[in-house]
Amino acid sequence: MTAPAALLRAMFDAAVARADPLLRVPEFLPPYPGGRVVVVGAGKAAARMALAVERAWPGPLTGLVVTRYGHGEPCRRIEVVQAAHPVPDEQGTAAAARILELVRPLGPDDLVLALLSGGGSALLALPAPGLTLAHKQGLTRALLAAGAPIGDINLVRTRLSAVKGGRLAAAAYPARTVGLLISDVPGDDPATIASGPTVPARSGTAGQALAVLDRYQVPVPDEVRAYLAGSADPPGPDDPRLSRVDNRVIAAAQQSLDAAAQVAVRAGVTPVILGDSIEGEARVVGTVLAGIARQVRRYGQPVPPPCVLLSGGETTVTVRGAGRGGRNVELLLGLALALDGAPGVWALAADTDGVDGTEPVAGALVRPDTLARARAAGTDPAAALAANDAHGFFAALGDQVVTGPTRTNVNDFRAVLVTAAGGG
């Protein structure tokens, strides 16, 4: 069998490669419409998606996409704006306003290509009339710190937006809109990817948005509360302005897990895909994965070793300490503590966009001797977890996974490799 660390990295690399926009975008492009073609978009993969369109599109086009700082690509015909994530900034707000200006004059013979991926909700941040960027920034920071799941955060973002929840496609009508979506959300619901700028709103009332804010004890400015109390609903499924929209999910976590599984099979390791949408508090999910790995070692269930437990999805971190955060590394530290040095168990968890939390680090690697090496160096793993400082913990061990921006995003990738049976 390939060395465990190398095998885990090969599986992660295959998962990321499977979602590369340069490979995925061309086969989903629509025919040339004959009219104007305007490309717009937002997300961590948006610039690479735009580059893929430029390379494959047979006719003239123009447009603008917004991506995270450091995730740009050298496009020639489509302007690439870089902005902040996960808390929006002025660059993203200005880009969103310009995107609406680009699509509003289009007619029925024209085409809008909307390139949307994970991160698009923060990057395409245009507050609804009467609200400010500061309102959205404050609410986003508070919800992230409280450990709110992405679905709840996006529900609030959508209700307070001038572009999400189908509003982009409504602004483009009567032009035809084709959305090419790279999913980073559990279930791959187009309405949730980047908060659905081209998708009819199907759920999430103003009252529900307020309930989310109250549940996480987020202070709500009077202006926001008043807006939610009197705001109109975003375009719904029966809105005629969304009758000319075709949304296509072109890459998703399950496809990437399948690619990783193929790498495992070639190495003589049995892959077990646990799910593409596993959520929850990161350290708790790590403890659960450790329990499954122990079952494999003790009883050969659900399959005997060598095997690898693969999963995707997005966990959350409730910030209590002053550490450097990161949901994948926090999951791994929880897993390592639960395994307590069990031999023959290795793990890698990383974000497929190359950034775990706010650090320029994708994730990390757990080895059977992770805890022993940390303690020998004078580091207390439990204290690091309590401080939400898993990034610092793995950096000190030299076990970080650093890729740089991958320019795609199908959420988190996790692989727990069990190489041998035993009693632990």
CA gap 26, 17 in Å, rounded: 15
Question: Which residues does 101 contact at the CB level (< 8 Å), separation at least 6?
Answer: none
Spans in the chain with pLDDT lower than 70: 1, 203, 423-424
The count of residues in the chain is 424
208, 235, 251 - which closes a domain = 251
Alpha-helix residue ranges (DSSP H) falling in 239-388: 253-266, 282-299, 327-339, 370-376, 381-386
Tell me whether residue 313 is in a domain: yes
251, 280, 297 - which closes a domain = 251
Number of structural domains found in the chain = 2
Tell me whether residue 182 is in a domain: yes
Tell me whether residue 424 is in a domain: no
Do 392 and 338 fall into the same domain? yes
Mapping DSSP to helix (H, G, I), strand (E, B) and coil, where does residue 213 land?
Answer: helix
CA gap 143, 325 in Å, rounded: 15
Q: What is the pLDDT of residue 424?
A: 59
Do 338 and 242 fall into the same domain? no
Do 246 and 275 fall into the same domain? no
Domain that holds residue 95: 21-251
Q: What is the pLDDT of residue 102?
A: 98
Q: What is the CATH number of the domain that holds 198?
A: 3.40.50.10180
Q: What is the pLDDT of residue 179?
A: 98
Full-model pTM: 0.91
Bridge pairing between strands 363-366 and 400-401? antiparallel
Tell me whether residue 340 is in a domain: yes
Do 197 and 288 fall into the same domain? no
Instruction: Summarize pLDDT for 85-142 with one digit per residue, the tens.
Output: 989 999 999 999 999 999 999 999 999 999 999 999 999 999 999 999 999 899 989 9
Strand partners, 123: none
Q: What is the pLDDT of residue 187?
A: 87
Q: What is the pLDDT of residue 151?
A: 80
251, 284, 313 - which closes a domain = 251
First-to-last C-alpha distance (Å) of the chain: 22
Q: What is the pLDDT of residue 203?
A: 64
Do 269 and 147 fall into the same domain? no
Q: Which of 112, 109, 39 is nearest to 77 (CA)?
A: 39
Tell me whether residue 423 is in a domain: no
Tell me whether residue 42 is in a domain: yes
Do 105 and 153 fall into the same domain? yes
